[in-house]
Amino acid sequence: MSRAGESAPIASITVEAAQFTKALAGVVSVVQRRNTIPILSNVLISQKSGTVHLMATDLDREVKLPLAPVEFDGEMNITVDAQRLQSLFQNLDNGAQVKLVQGDNGRLNITSGRNRYHLPSLPAADMPQMPFGDDASLLTFRASDIRDVFSRMAVAQSSEDTRYYLCGLFMHMDADDASAVRFAATNGHKLIRMSGVQARRDGEIPDAIIPSALVAVLSRLWADVADDIVVEVLVTASKLRFSFADWQVTGKVVDGRFPDYVRVIPTQNDQVVTVDCDHLISAAKRVMVLNSKKTPTIRCDFEADKLTLSVNDPSYGQAAAELPIEYSGDPMEVGINGQYLIEMAGAVPGASARLSLANPRAPTLWESLIDNAGFSGVVMPIGL
């Protein structure tokens, strides 16, 4: 005799709670908390031939992950509320085994020990999919390489919806190296370019702007992936699909034209500074505590082998911090957004950065001292 809320089973799977919870967290990362289309609040749970797939989408991004069940019976295909299912699993013991049963009454019945749940569902056939055509070209990266690029460049993306074409990472082939890819990001005030990112390619690779929302999802999912894992990227004019460590992440590219960023990278700056990045970040944070402005301007006084960072705020007071540098040029005073300074110093590969200056009104070029790092950063000045 079935319990109240239960019905005749169509299919069932038994999973490890910890494994399912971790997988669900990644998939649910694309689910918006408020949706006008009910099915977009759900996660698809399907099982065929002994492999369970979890999938969710917001129409612009789709995340899919297979996992192996402990046991299975029949073919499952059902969608349930993603946030509710995640909350349910987060409150179960990690070591528990959980049985999910798809009933013929359209409910998902869940049992773990003495705990029982009955969740309503929506038809699996209503879940939108993001198919990929046969015209895609392929790029193959080492996980450590593309993960490093995304983590360093994310701070340069714009968040202004009116400049949507800057809200992401621009990916294109490296004109100087047929086996490498270039990435660029800018918000109009700061820019980061990574050149020489090694990749194998199959076919002509179209330029693509990877939207910042997709960058955020990928950065979370491959954070714990081993360095030597292969990341395959299928590229078309309208979509991208990243496949790595069983994850499959599909997303639309930004429908816009990225500006000609190369022309803003200085080539004639001849006043060169070498500075320790950690020391620079620490000094900037110390003086910024006395800044009340929305745009935290730091005054940078470059002198022979010494850099003084200072803030003069009528409301909060004055602060100054000195740090050693390698510099033999003429004294120069440059205004810079303090937050941009911290972000750029944190993005440069290696312990030290090389800053190339021209004059107080010209952009500053940031580079790594590591050979072949391929890093170029640009920060626009602020008038003092």
Asked whether residue 116 carries a pLDDT value surpassing 70, the answer given is yes
97 and 112 belong to one structural domain: yes
144 and 239 belong to one structural domain: yes
Is 125 strand, coil or helix? helix
Asked whether residue 42 carries a pLDDT value surpassing 80, the answer given is yes
Percent of all residues in the chain with a pLDDT value above 90, rounded to a whole number = 86
Residue 109 has a pLDDT of 96
> Which tens digit of pLDDT belongs to each residue from 247-267?
999 999 999 999 999 999 999
Residue 338 has a pLDDT of 96
- Segment 265-292 shows an average pLDDT of 96
Confidence of residue 1 (pLDDT cuts 50, 70, 90): very low
Residue 384 lies in a domain: no
pTM of the full structure: 0.92
Confidence of residue 6 (pLDDT cuts 50, 70, 90): low
Among 2-6, 33-37, 369-373, the range scoring the smallest mean pLDDT is 2-6
List of residues 6+ apart from 244 with CB closer than 8 A: 143, 222, 225, 229, 230, 231, 232
367 and 299 belong to one structural domain: yes
54 and 107 belong to one structural domain: yes
The residue behind tokens 């069983």 is: 246
Asked whether residue 362 carries a pLDDT value surpassing 50, the answer given is yes
Number of domains in the chain: 3
- CA 141, CA 146: separation in Å to the nearest integer? 6
Residue 104 has a pLDDT of 86
Domain end: 234, 262, 290, which one? 262
Residue 111 lies in a domain: yes
85 versus 33: the higher-pLDDT residue is 85
- CA 382, CA 17: separation in Å to the nearest integer? 53
Q: Is the dihedral of CA 371, 374, 375, 376 positive or negative?
A: positive
62 and 110 belong to one structural domain: yes
Confidence of residue 132 (pLDDT cuts 50, 70, 90): confident
Half-sphere CA count of 140, side-chain side, radius 13 A: 7
241 and 226 belong to one structural domain: yes
Average pLDDT taken over every residue of the chain = 94
104 versus 125: the higher-pLDDT residue is 125
Residue 1 lies in a domain: no
Residue 23 lies in a domain: yes
111 and 193 belong to one structural domain: no
Nearest to 276 by CA among 240, 322, 224: 322
Asked whether residue 85 carries a pLDDT value surpassing 90, the answer given is yes
Residue 304 lies in a domain: yes
41 and 108 belong to one structural domain: yes
Residue 292 structure tokens? 């009340």
Q: Are 195 and 374 in contact (CB under 8 A)?
A: yes
- Segment 189-209 shows an average pLDDT of 95
Residue 4 has a pLDDT of 52
> Which tens digit of pLDDT belongs to each residue from 313-361?
888 999 999 999 999 999 999 999 999 999 999 999 999 999 999 999 9
CATH code where residue 109 lies: 3.10.150.10
345 and 375 belong to one structural domain: yes
199 and 153 belong to one structural domain: yes
Residue 293 has a pLDDT of 79
Domain that holds residue 358: 265-379
46 and 84 belong to one structural domain: yes
The b-or-e profile of 248-277 (16+ CB within 10 A means b, else e) is bbbbbbbeeebbebeeeeeeebebebebbb
114 and 155 belong to one structural domain: no
Residue 3 lies in a domain: no
Domain end: 196, 229, 262, which one? 262
Residue 334 lies in a domain: yes
Residue 258 has a pLDDT of 98
Domain end: 69, 95, 126, which one? 126
Residue 4 lies in a domain: no
Sheet with 168-173, edge to edge strand ranges: 208-211, 168-173, 180-186, 190-198, 375-379, 364-368, 352-357, 271-276
